[in-house]
Copies of this chain bind each other. A is one copy, B any other.
Amino acid sequence: MAEQAQYEELVRQFSAFGAVKREMGRVLPTDCPAGSAAVLTLLNRHGDMRMSKLAELLAVDMSVTSRHVAHIVERGWIERSADPADKRSRILRLTPEGLAQVDRLSRCTTQMLAERLSDWTDDEVAQLTRLMARLRSSFDESPRTPAITQ
């Protein structure tokens, strides 16, 4: 269990992380903002899935997911087909163009990180990745947001 000063410093780093996110966003293709990129990457990694599953992986509301998906469908990167087992659902699948876009995205971001983190060791990159994954699961597993103390 850490102390208050440690938590405050961590919060500060959380806040400052926004600058990293924005810098990452600047290397993305103009018609593929971060939200779209996240959808494409998850579909590539986990394979075809329903909207609800995608929303869960993105950890955002399904209404948000629906907007991202609509944007991507317009560009021909994914297809929405009806689920024969449940006509309310729609199955999402990457098109060949979508797969090409995933490759493009991977090259953009990988090259960018390789430049920025050129003096990081393999182990440091792995550590950061591991700790951020753990952070996420610590937030996932906890009970929902407690009341605000005004």
Contact = CB atoms under 8 A, between A and B. Distances in A.
Interface of A: 1-4, 6-21, 23-24, 26-30, 34, 37-38, 41, 45, 59-60, 104, 106-122, 124-129, 131-136, 138-140, 142, 145-146, 148-150
B59 A18 contact: yes
Given A17-B17, A113-B7, A28 B136 contact: no
Contacts of A60: 18-19
A115 B146 contact: yes
A21 to B, nearest CB: 7
Total copies of this chain within the assembly? 2
The 7 closest A-B pairs by CB, nearest first: A19-B59, A13-B132, A2-B125, A128-B131, A26-B145, A7-B113, A7-B110
Contacts of A6: 122, 125-126, 129
Given A12-B45, A14-B20, A128-B132, 9 more contacts: A2-B121, A2-B126, A8-B110, A10-B129, A13-B136, A15-B41, A17-B132, A17-B135, A116-B139
